[in-house]
Amino acid sequence: MPTGPFLAISPGAFPGGFDRAPPGGLCLSAFLFLRNERGEVLLGRYAEDSRWAALTGLDAGRVRRYSTGWTVPASHLKLGEDPRDAALRVAREILGVDGLRLGEPRVATFVYELDRLPGERHHDVCFLLDTAAPRGLRVEPPPWYAALAWHDLATLPASAYARGHDDVAEAWRRPPAPSF
């Protein structure tokens, strides 16, 4: 059970909070689950392309490492960006799709140790947004994707994903918690 400071990041953080990211890091990301009429979700395989850094914040080494499996279209949030705006940016800038209507984000969190920071806990806060694709939508892979394809997430094996996106897809597949 963690006993460290509370994970509140703010200038002049309250006692026990941080005024900068924790030593293991913290990522805020938006994941776009674009569903077709059969309920399949659009997934992509990264191509080695330098534009990933500007599009999502991924460096060339990570793109190369994660290029062998399927990923949910996603991006780190930009400073001050709302998760819904980030998901619409993913649709527009990464997939070339406009005019989507998103529901409210669901949140999934993951805490793990990174190979490059042994002994430190890294925190991922993932905003999961989904929407139905416009009927008949055909998305051609832009140069930064080696492939885009529709997949049934209930049958795609965990080994087919890259970058831990199997955990993110599983979190999205779980029914939302009841609201009170």
Is 54 a member of any domain? yes
Is 7 a member of any domain? no
Is 6 a member of any domain? no
CA distances from 11 to 14, 77, 81 (A): 9, 19, 18
How much is the pTM? Answer: 0.89
Which residues span the domain enclosing 154?
40-173
Number of domains forming the structure of the chain: 1
Coil/strand/helix, residue 32: strand
As given in the structure block, the two tokens for residue 104 are 């409210």
Predicted confidence (pLDDT) at residue 13 exceeds the cutoff of 70 = no
pLDDT at 83: 96
Rounded to the nearest 5°, which phi and psi values hold at 89? -65, -40
Is 20 a member of any domain? no
Q: What stretch of H or E contains 113? A: strand 106-113
Q: Say which DSSP state 160 is in.
A: G
CATH value at residue 69: 3.90.79.10
Is 30 a member of any domain? no
The residue type at 136:
G
Average pLDDT of span 163-167: 88
Is 115 a member of any domain? yes
The residue among 121, 120, 116, 108 whose CA lies nearest residue 164 is 108
Is 150 a member of any domain? yes
Question: pLDDT tens across 62-109, in order?
Answer: 999 999 999 999 999 998 899 999 999 999 999 999 999 998 999 999
